[in-house]
Chain A
């Protein structure tokens, strides 16, 4: 069990640029979640996948955000035309079943700073 891996750990970008983050879940986990966490707050749900299917997207996820999990393994989260309000920690988590039966395993996160 190598854990959930996220890349990069930190990203600094200028407003208006596009950024992409990658998440590699625990290999046998079929569920993958993206959360956003701002300083001093709890994580907020963005979206989740079961295998390659994106099952739910939060209303927090504007049209500038897109997530994919093309082969049901790793996932990418892209933010287009970044804004300063996008600055946050983006957390990825995975589980093998529903969240109650199989608690989420989190990665270290990608910290995005938009200048």
Chain B
């Protein structure tokens, strides 16, 4: 079975600074997708960024980028120029052949003004 581990329960970043959120996963599949989802307080979960495992190039979406290390099974999210609106829970998630998402426990990110 696939597992997703987010070992940091909380992180804090100063506004305009950069922060990196860690995620590791375990799988025996060779073809899969990884995601970071954002869940603001009392609001719906939204997709931040997606990475396809067969693509070596790290995905980037504006201020958000990932560091995908397939051999190490590591998938970290970097948020540049942090904004107050980035404060939320962030979930790392995995999907493979079974077409369902497996989530990590999440990390609470706070942004200090």
Whether A42 and B44, one on each chain, are in contact in the complex, defined by CB atoms closer than 8 angstroms, is: no
- Alpha-carbon distance between A56 and B50 when the two chains are bound, in angstroms: 24
Number of interface residues of A (CB under 8 A): 23
CB distance from A71 to the nearest CB of B (A): 21
Write out the residue numbers on chain A whose beta carbons fall within 8 Å of the beta carbon of B91: 42-43
The 0/1 profile, CB within 8 Å of A marked 1, for residues 79-91 of chain B is 0000000000001
Whether A100 and B100, one on each chain, are in contact in the complex, defined by CB atoms closer than 8 angstroms, is: no
- Alpha-carbon distance between A48 and B98 when the two chains are bound, in angstroms: 11
CB distance from A2 to the nearest CB of B (A): 13
Known: A41-B105, A41-B106. A103 touches B47 (CB 8 A): yes
The chain A residue sitting closest to B97, CB to CB, is: A98
Chain B 30-49 interface residues, beta-carbon cutoff 8 Å to A: 32-33, 35, 43-47
Q: Among A56, A91, A107, point to the contact of B100 (Cβ < 8 A).
A: A56
Chain B 61-113 interface residues, beta-carbon cutoff 8 Å to A: 91, 93, 95-96, 98-106
Whether B95 and A106, one on each chain, are in contact in the complex, defined by CB atoms closer than 8 angstroms, is: no
- 16 intermolecular pairs with C-beta atoms under 8 Å apart: A31-B99, A33-B100, A33-B101, A40-B106, A41-B105, A41-B106, A42-B93, A43-B91, A45-B102, A48-B99, A56-B98, A99-B33, A99-B99, A103-B50, A104-B101, A106-B44
Known: A99-B95, A103-B35, A103-B50. A45 touches B44 (CB 8 A): no
CB distance from B10 to the nearest CB of A (A): 10
How many residues of B sit at the interface, in one of the four size bands? 20 to 34
Write out the residue numbers on chain A whose beta carbons fall within 8 Å of the beta carbon of B47: 103-104
Is B52 positioned at the interface, with any CB of A under 8 Å from its CB? yes
The 0/1 profile, CB within 8 Å of A marked 1, for residues 1-38 of chain B is 00010100000000000000000000000001101000
- Alpha-carbon distance between A33 and B91 when the two chains are bound, in angstroms: 17
Chain A 8-51 interface residues, beta-carbon cutoff 8 Å to B: 31, 33, 35, 40-45, 48
CB distance from B77 to the nearest CB of A (A): 15
Write out the residue numbers on chain B whose beta carbons fall within 8 Å of the beta carbon of A48: 99-100
The chain A residue sitting closest to B33, CB to CB, is: A100
Write out the residue numbers on chain A whose beta carbons fall within 8 Å of the beta carbon of B45: 43, 91, 93, 106
